[in-house]
Amino acid sequence: MYNVIVAGSTDFTRDCILQLMKTDNVNLSAVIAPIDTKKDRKGNIINSPAVEAALENNLNLFQPESINKDDFYGTLTDLAPDFLIVVAYGRILTKRTLALPKIMPLNIHGSLLPILRGASPVEHALLYGFKKSGTTLQKMDAKLDEGDIILQHEVDIADDWQFNDLYDKIKESGVYLLKEFFKDVDKHLSNMIKQDDSLATYCSKIKKEDGKLDFSKDVISLHNMTRAFVRWPTAYCFYKDISIRVFKSEYKYNTDCQSDFGKIVDVNNEGIYIQALNGIYVIKELQREGKKRQTVKEFLCGNKLNIGEYFL
């Protein structure tokens, strides 16, 4: 029986917690989560999905100010984990903390390492137009996402997938890796492979301004931004100084495009057609500032757009 601690906060963490609870040779001794700070409209603290899972299943829950401080290190030592598994924890672990598990610290990362090391692998797989991505179970290393690879699982990306579609598959893939790992721990640990650093790519944390559409860019890049940022920060542009968020788009190649980037070249109930580099960017679903999300048909019922006007 392996004594396991999980550290994380998201629904990905929650799904891994639920899988470990069903795993015969695992004793899930504790869940570690960041201190919850989000509040609802009444001012009540909103628990993260990982915290909710721990509370609902009567698991030991710890929310230290820092997992690395001396006072909590004593608690970790008393728990004596064989494995500390990190799933979307969002905190840096020191070498001392990483050395605490009796067997190994593990991390589940949402890409096929060494590709897309860093904070936003799901978004960037879509931004770059990847046809496949996946998850990696790795030994945690002091350097970000550079530890030895234990297991990987590929996910094919459909052309019409947006962030939530890929993220759901990444979560399923990560849960699958945990299940497979604990079927034969010794075998998988003996077959770890070192990452090839020469193949490494990196992705930074997404910022709100990353969602700003620039119609002088390649039309596929604009479409991929819409796909990648649909959850947050959402692709956006401006029409007459009014912010427009775009939730769904299409694109049409046109090698004869002129340089009037951002110009509305057509508009009907099926879409708003905007000149971009190498083609036409088509807005299909949008949200005007202060209004609700709408299809273009719904939007046009209360808003008039004219061919020749510009989105900026």
Extended strands (E) in the chain: 2-8, 26-32, 61-62, 83-87, 104-109, 117-118, 132-139, 149-156, 202-203, 235-239, 242-253, 264-268, 271-276, 279-288, 293-295
- The proportion of the chain whose per-residue pLDDT surpasses 90, expressed as a percent, equals 90
Tell me how far apart the alpha carbons of residues 103 and 236 are, in angstroms, rounded to a whole number. 47
Same domain? 199 vs 212: no
Question: Would the pLDDT of 134 be above 80?
Answer: yes
Q: What per-residue confidence (pLDDT) applies to 64? A: 95
Q: Do 50 and 197 belong together in one domain?
A: yes
Instruction: Report how far residue 203's alpha carbon sits from residue 266's, in angstroms, rounded to the nearest whole number.
Output: 36
149, 171, 203: which is the final residue of a domain? 203
Q: Band the pLDDT of 258: cuts 50, 70, 90.
A: low
Please give the pLDDT value at position 47.
93
Same domain, yes or no: 39 and 72: yes
Name residue, tokens 């029409």.
Answer: 239
Q: Is residue 51 part of a domain?
A: yes
Last residue of a domain, one of 172, 188, 203: 203
Query: What CATH number is attached to the domain comprising 253?
Result: 3.10.25.10
Domain range spanning residue 132?
A: 2-203
Q: Is residue 306 part of a domain?
A: no
Residues 178 and 216 in one domain: no
124 plus 59 within the same structural domain: yes
Query: Do residues 140 and 231 share a domain?
Result: no
Phi, psi of 251 (to 5 degrees): -150, 155
- Kindly state whether residues 190 and 226 are assigned to the same domain: no
Number of domains the chain is built from: 2
- The helix/strand count (H/E) of the chain reads as 9, 15
* pLDDT confidence tier of residue 253, bands split at 50, 70 and 90: confident
Confirm whether 149 is domain-assigned: yes
What is the distance between the alpha carbons of residues 287 and 297, in angstroms, rounded to a whole number?
12
Specify the CATH number for the domain of residue 94. 3.40.50.170
**Which pLDDT value is given to residue 110?**
98
In a domain, 311, yes or no: no
Does residue 73 belong to any structural domain of this protein? Answer: yes
Based on the fold, state whether residues 213 and 198 are members of the same structural domain.
no
Model confidence over 57-101: pLDDT tens digits?
Answer: 999 999 999 999 998 999 999 999 999 999 999 889 999 999 999
pLDDT of residue 254: 77
pTM for the full predicted model: 0.94
Residue 23 lies in a domain: yes
The answer as to whether 157 is a domain residue is yes
161 and 95 belong to one structural domain: yes
Cβ(133)–Cβ(123) below 8 Å: no
pLDDT tens, 282-311? Answer: 999 999 998 999 999 999 998 999 999 999
Q: For residue 124, what pLDDT is reported?
A: 98
Residue 148 lies in a domain: yes
- Nearest alpha carbon to residue 262 among 214, 305, 212: 214
Q: What is the mean pLDDT of residues 236-251?
A: 96
What confidence score (pLDDT) does residue 176 get? 98
Same domain, 174 and 255: no
Specify whether 275 is located in the same domain as 164.
no
Same domain, 248 and 178: no
pLDDT digits (tens, 9 = 90+) for 171-200: 999 999 999 999 999 999 999 999 999 999
pLDDT at 48: 95
Of 137, 172, 203, which marks where a domain is finished? 203
- On whether the CB atoms of residues 203 and 228 are closer than 8 A, the answer is no
How high does pLDDT run on average in the chain? 95
